[in-house]
Structure 1
């Protein structure tokens, strides 16, 4: 395997192209054959679906007609006049009266038969065994008549189907007539309806593919249709009820036939269809041959195109390899120049490769030049950064001198203000840590508050309510101090009477909520919405709420940030939502 792989890697491109095309050809043949076989299977399934739907429609139509017979036989058996006439037929009834009563029964049956084209005859057999019939008068053997009567008795008032036999080709529906007078359900006779079942099937399958084939209807071992004995023998998987998916293809008399079978839900009959397979599969066979010949022809064309394709790739790549060797030896000027033969290259992948390589070499030269310039800028920046460190130290030393002088002169207020100012400057200028603890942030707040208390004296009332366990939690530096500054700026400065500012911390599971609230003038709903969206006009130049929220989101994620709530005359409160991270 390793030697074959090495041999393939050392082949020339044109040989690899031919090898690739040969492999693709073999794979395409396999895929095409598999796809065609799969397509034929899908086509068979679609054909079965169509045949099954057609067979279902035909079966539904047939059984709808037979449902009418069940309703009709029930109507006859429960007809009050027929029951009254049958009750009047007794052994002591005079012969003429019996004749007259049976004539009335016949007249009543004529009303039920009407224009039903599928009914061959309707007859009512009374308890004396005499039949009153309308329709075709077909002779029936006494054994057949007894069998029909016995079957109706087994139904106990329900309709029974009597299937065709060699002596009687009719499909018969028989039902016992029972008296419902006083609900005694005494037997009064039997109603027998004979159907032209072959006419029903022929009418419902007219204009369909079933007319070009055969259709068989069975119930158990009884064949209901066709009634022609010459069409009954049907061997193979069909009569045995086999075949995957309800369909299969079988050879009969040198021809292929497509079989479909279903079982109805109403009568439980089995419906079979037999359709000539070649008639419905001619187009797919033609497409199969067309695809094969078209595929072979296209392969020949691809082989011819591959010759020119391999030559068009090999020559430009060899030229590119020569330019790469020049760059490898450090001659970037030659590698960056574009030869005359390269300018004639088309804008395909190889041409793009040539141009991209030339631009890459030019970029490398440019980056080398820029690198020298950037190194000089970095050195200058480092020098300026070291020089800038001198200014804060000079400021701190100056503040320390002022503090020492204030203490020496007994000016404690000035000393405390200078110490607080120095602490604030160190905290804001220091870049060592972006996240600090709540306790460290409160130290900044308290030093800022020390300065503001000297400014506002009794007008500024401050309260702090922070749980002990919350002091170790982390938050971005300068989160609470700007909120306190905003509260002083927009609440204390605008009021004459004292203003109360509170900082309250509260743990809510894994969430730490720190709220800065004041009892200042508050905001209207319009101004509050502008503040929330960051479009409100500001009166200061400090750190805004948007800045604080963005730093919280960057540090901890989207679920955290700030919430603002305010009402006119009821003050403002800003809540900082932080994860309880210690």
Structure 2
């Protein structure tokens, strides 16, 4: 009888309707899952409270480590400054016999060095160097501390004997101060004579807020103290903040639930190893456990609702599991790959579909894809028209004939008065205007574009003189290739704006070419300050604003793609302090000019 029973059951199950099969399986699986999950949740929540306390304490520990890691970075910057050979050399040259003007120049040079260290540091308010003659070199905001406070800083830094001394904020000075003496050394000769004192003022509140951003500690109260003095939060008024009596509430533990000001708080405490500061976090007890209880209720209700919904939907869902859905999914995958034409094909399979819900869905999907395809085509054409209109409007903003006549008059006056430089600048400017305003051609040769660049460089050389070093290394057989007008000149202009104008030393701008199969790559590079990774990413995405109403990289990219296709365009590389390189890729073949 037993083998017979086992033979009957599979046959009985196989003959059930699909909706009954799905309903039975889902009911069984959901029942088992619900029971197992309910028992598991009871166990998990029994140990959750303890884990919550431990994790909160660990979070405070990580936050304190994050804060002090930032302070360590700033400490390393102060070490780099006091050991900077240029700073050492300048401070060694100061003595009581140094002329006043020479003292001023030396302190100005020291200030320039300090600016290089402070420029990219968002947490530094100011860097000050007080030399042995009580003179000051300041990068950033000059402090308004009293003479007594300055003397206290000098005395405190002397105690460090060349090491960093941390001075906490007070009513007079709301910034955390890292002070250390600058002592002399020359090669292997460490005489360690005092050359001055370095004072770095730090936005400690910004460090704390950035580290705590996005953590649960942001919802509570954090207090950082040192020797019974509150470092954070920084007092907004003349009254001194009072530290929370840690020992009273913590009983020498890392965390606890204790009453404070008539309310239950979850209190965590960490004492840092680097500076010996105490980090204390207070979070209302109700705020923590209200969320936990709410989460328990939501999970329980969600499970019950999901179980009932799945049981109700299972039967209906089974009736829709047919071949038309699989065909529809196949067409959707084609659309996902970007092939909209396949989704709109008319054949007997599409015209003879049934009129139930699945059939209507298929018909609606076909109509939607057709409309999307039409909208994409229409929108693409409109965007091309808008870009061309904007570019031509930019070219036609001034009266060409008036400008040409005016420039010719200026050129004639310059030659008459023996001013060849002015004459040369006017001739170059006139060439640039004629080239940029002319609407006859949108594509010109590389040689014609380089003529525009050289006339632009001629004008800029009169402005920047020896600070502008320009190099052109372009093969003669590439000058007949075509590219969109005003492609290279805006890139050279960007190098002058963003590199040369921000540098004191000469700026090298170079244009050179290289070949790849079927492609010519024209490179415009400079040795300017470069860009940070975040700004470089914005430029690549076309989100970085351009100066004035100039032609941006995205405009150049679009015109190259429109002229030659998706395989060509613009790429940019840049590193901080290493310069910027922009590469233009065009076809390496002759073709007829077209508008």
**TM-score strictly above 0.5:** no
For normalisation by structure 1, the TM-score amounts to: 0.41
